[in-house]
Amino acid sequence: MRQVVKHRQCQADAWSMPDEAAAAAGVVVSLADYLAVQAGTLASPAPAGAALGVQLEPADDEAQLLPFAAQLQLVVVNFPKTAEGRGYTQGRMLRERYGYRGELRAAGAVLLDQVFLLARCGFDAFAMAPGENLTLAAAELDRFSVAYQTAVGTVVQPHRRGQVG
């Protein structure tokens, strides 16, 4: 079973991703499918009692999730390449603008050295790239003890400086 770093712990992932067979606990679908299910034009692929999560691709507009922010339990933001940077904005917007409080998971080509920045954009779960050590990934959350900017979890005010975490 896939392991993810969630809330600083390594744990088994109970969810199935869009290209996988539906898991009993929860099923993640694409944004288009998620919106179609919500609109009633597509039957939910989730088994009875299972939650429905959504995976955003870099070009997706996370604002479309605003009406569902309170009910969603998992939003996966996919990083097809390590250099892909749109997900950082998607994460911040979900947390800061749309009030999303569920699990926000970075997935795809996510390497150790991105974990700290992603966490400051609101990510609290990480499905790391193959070969990445999850224990080291969790430790990366403490890489820096300070920050210059206001971001998720850090309000730097009035002197724009603050402790992280």
Partner 1 sequence: MYRYDTLDHTLVAERVAQFRDQTQRFLAGQLSEDEFKPLRLRNGLYIQTHAPMLRVAVPYGLLSTRQVRMLAHLARKYDRGYGHFTTRQNIQYNWPKLEEVPDMLADLATVEMHAIQTSGNCIRNTTADHFAGIAPDEIDDPRPYCEIIRQWSTLHPEFNYLPRKFKIAVTGSPADRAASQVHDIGLHLRRGPDGQTGFEVLVGGGLGRTPIIGKVIRDFLPREHLLSYLEAVLRVYNRAGRRDNIYKARIKILVKAMGEEAFRAAVEQEWALIRDTALLLDPTEIDRMRKYFRPLPYEKLPDIDVTVGREAAFVAWYRHNTRAHKVSGYRAVMVSLKTPGIAPGDMTAEQMDGLADLADLISSGEVRSTHDQNLVLGDVRQQDLYETWQRLTALGLATANIGTLADMICCPGLDFCSLANASSISIAHQITERFSDIDYLYDLGPLEIKMSGCMNACGHHHVGHIGILGVDKHGEEWYQITIGGSASGDSSLGDVIGPSVAKLEVANTLAMLLDVYVSIREEDETFLQVVRRVGVTPFRERVYAPSR
Cβ 8 to partner 1, closest distance in Å?
A: 17
**CA–CA dist 107, 132 (Å, integer):** 12
DSSP of 95-128: IIIS---SEEEEEES--GGGHHHHHHTT--EEEP
Cβ 95 to partner 1, closest distance in Å?
A: 11
Nearer Cβ to partner 1 (13/132): 132
Q: Residues in the site for partner 1, rule: CB under 8 A? A: 58, 82-86, 88-89, 92, 97, 111, 113-114, 116-118, 120-121, 143-151, 155-161
User: Is the Cβ–Cβ distance between 32 and 8 less than 8 Å?
Assistant: no
Q: Which helix (H) or strand (E) holds 77?
A: strand 74-79
Nearer Cβ to partner 1 (29/115): 115
Nearer Cβ to partner 1 (24/160): 160
**CA–CA dist 72, 45 (Å, integer):** 16
Cβ 110 to partner 1, closest distance in Å?
A: 11
Q: And the tokens for 159?
A: 């002197």
Question: For 60, phi and psi rounded to 5 degrees?
Answer: -70, 150
Nearer Cβ to partner 1 (10/156): 156
Q: What does DSSP say about strands 51-56 and 26-30: parallel, antiparallel, or unpaired?
A: parallel
Nearer Cβ to partner 1 (23/125): 125
